[in-house]
Structure 1
Amino acid sequence: MTENKPWLDHYPGTVPKTIDPDKYDNLVELYEECFNRYRMHPMSICMGVTHTYDDVDKASLAVAAWLQAQGLPKGSLVALMMPNVPQYLPIMIGILRAGYVCTPINPLYTGRELRHQLNDSGAKIIFIVDNFAQALEQVVDETSINRIVLSKMGDMMGLKGMLVNTMIRQVKRLVPKYKLNDPKHEVTKFPDVLKKGKALPFQAPTMASEQKAILQYTGGTTGLSKGAVLTQRNIIAAALQSEAWYRPVTSNMNEAYINMVMALPLYHIFAFMLSLLGMRSGYTFILIPNPRDMPGFIKTLSKQPFHIFPAVNTLFKGLLDQP
């Protein structure tokens, strides 16, 4: 083997030379293993509100059941346009569990950029936080979107969520005015999706490893952004590769008590893969909805210990510039 792959001679002894990308039949099987293994362990903390792996499992099943009830054809595209809030991972996993393909969208996109991705992907449903609904309103009539699920930032934060939503809307005024009242848009509130989904039957679809899972768009730095098709097997292989290199580094810790700062946006592939890597070992994600708010970011970091902090140079530089 090493004759044709000389780089393997340079692998550390603790890193395996191969992985088995067919260990799981599909990505949902991997997610369900994580839920069953760490069910009562904290999975995310956001603005002081904690959700367990069990919470995320149940919420994602409700999303999946609701989506199946919408009658979408198998393999349909569902868009997800949110920052790092507690509902992001339940929605994304729910889309996959329902048998559909998720296309994550940068919530900071302009109307023009959003229109391109929605039309290029052919998404029929979009889950969106209302902070960014104005951009959708500008272009939705020029897309194939026929149902909108509107969420507020605090929708999965219980009583504290009411305070969060009031602060964001009334005090910080971070929700530009929008009108999506036309019945043709079929607007549904996210809490209603969870409520109705919990009462609906869920039928686990048959999924093969070569089926599409994520349509991940590039940054568009050299022109229009392009959709990269990621199959179930692609993502499983990437997760196991990451784990093969990372596990030796963390093996001397109790991994189920590792807190990972999730400031990188989950709609980017970097953070998405980190979420899979962390779930495989029962990490708790400290979700940062807006890392550009440096005072708020630092306040969050000061509230609990963190062990892993993946980021990009600009974010570390931004923190170093703070007193």
Structure 2
Amino acid sequence: MTLNKPWLAQYPAGVPKSIDPDKYNSIVELYEECFDRFRMHPMSICMGVTHTYDDIDKASLAVAAWLQAQDLPQGTVVALMMPNVPQYLPTMIGILRAGYACTPVNPLYTGRELRHQLNDSGAKVIFVVDNFAQALEQVIDETNIKRIVLSKMGDMMGLKGILVNTIIRQVKRLVPKYKLDDPKHEVTKFPDVLKKGRNLPFQKPKLSLDKTAFLQYTGGTTGLSKGTILTQRNIVAAAMQSEAWFRPITSEINEVYINLVMALPLYHIFASMLSMLGMRS
């Protein structure tokens, strides 16, 4: 039986009636295509500090190589608890490039909420900005987290980052005191991850569209937050659909480079997809 699709007649000119996610073997291939296409263009601008696609490519490879050196099984879930800072995208992409699944965490979570997501997702590693490390300290011994990567807000802002970190810690006092010095947690500083990762071998994993890319958690407004499994195919298809709908608009401006203002938190799936749309435009 052929399904009648009357809505297709309402599509604007230039919007295809279908997309083919099988064009890519993984979301990583889509990212790498963008790195090659826009290598010297700005990919992110935060507090006046610019990182090119090449910068993010190299940083994410360093994160991926460091993660692989931790001898984690393929498919291991890695938590990412950061606000919108320059290290968010290379960390997220690095997790995926290493062959692991990413579970983004709301950095404003209380200890109770954080404990639920970490345990429910089965995360073994967490990348966290130290502004929110106190919540992690409260529950770390009740989770399966074995490795912690601690980052400061200004870690990828060069000399400006020193000023940012000083103001945040000493002037505004936005970093509550925490203590995560138990050796069993294997705490590593984010700059050390980049430094070590750049000198470690990276083994490109075998990825496929049916593998889990994200464990995205709901807001928990009607009960316990629930983890949604998003496969590589889910993300690739969503990215291609967004691009298909915006392409008629972007093509009209003759390849002018488009920037998106990201006002939404990147841990939210909508913001994550917008970031991909910006990369593809």
Residues 70-120 of structure 1: CA deviation (Å, up to 9, x unaligned): 000110000000000000000000000000000000000000000000000
Tell me, what secondary structure is at the counterpart of 2:150? strand
Written as runs of structure 1 = structure 2, the 5 A alignment for 1:275-294 is: 275-281=275-281
- 1:2 touches 1:8 (CA, 8 Å); kept in 2? no
Matching of residue 92 in structure 1 with residue 92 in structure 2: yes
Residues 46-74 of structure 1: CA deviation (Å, up to 9, x unaligned): 11100000000000000000000000011
Distance 1:20 1:243, change over 3 A: same
Unaligned residue ranges in structure 1 (runs of 5+): 282-323
Matching of residue 113 in structure 1 with residue 102 in structure 2: no
Q: What is the RMSD of the two structures over their aligned residues, measured on CA atoms?
A: 1.2
2:272 match: 272
1:141 match: 141
Written as runs of structure 1 = structure 2, the 5 A alignment for 1:22-101 is: 22-101=22-101
The two structures have a TM-score, normalised by structure 2, of 0.98
- 2:154 touches 2:162 (CA, 8 Å); kept in 1? yes
2:246 match: 246
The two structures have a TM-score, normalised by structure 1, of 0.85
1:223 match: 223
Matching of residue 201 in structure 1 with residue 206 in structure 2: no
Task: Supply the distance in 2 between the matched residues of 1:276 and 1:254 (Cα, whole angstroms).
Answer: 20
Task: Supply the distance in 2 between the matched residues of 1:137 and 1:256 (Cα, whole angstroms).
Answer: 46
Cα deviation for residue 13 of structure 1 reads 2.1
- 1:210 touches 1:231 (CA, 8 Å); kept in 2? yes
**Identical columns (%):** 82
Tell me, what secondary structure is at the counterpart of 2:21? coil
Q: How many positions carry a matched residue from both structures? A: 281
- 1:169 touches 1:175 (CA, 8 Å); kept in 2? yes
Paired letter, 1:132: F
Cα deviation for residue 255 of structure 1 reads 4.7
Task: Supply the distance in 2 between the matched residues of 1:221 and 1:248 (Cα, whole angstroms).
Answer: 37
Task: Supply the distance in 1 between the matched residues of 2:115 and 2:254 (Cα, whole angstroms).
Answer: 45
Task: Supply the distance in 2 between the matched residues of 1:184 and 1:263 (Cα, whole angstroms).
Answer: 37
- 2:77 touches 2:102 (CA, 8 Å); kept in 1? yes
Task: Supply the distance in 2 between the matched residues of 1:44 and 1:144 (Cα, whole angstroms).
Answer: 33
Unaligned residue ranges in structure 2 (runs of 5+): none
Task: Supply the distance in 1 between the matched residues of 2:129 and 2:35 (Cα, whole angstroms).
Answer: 25
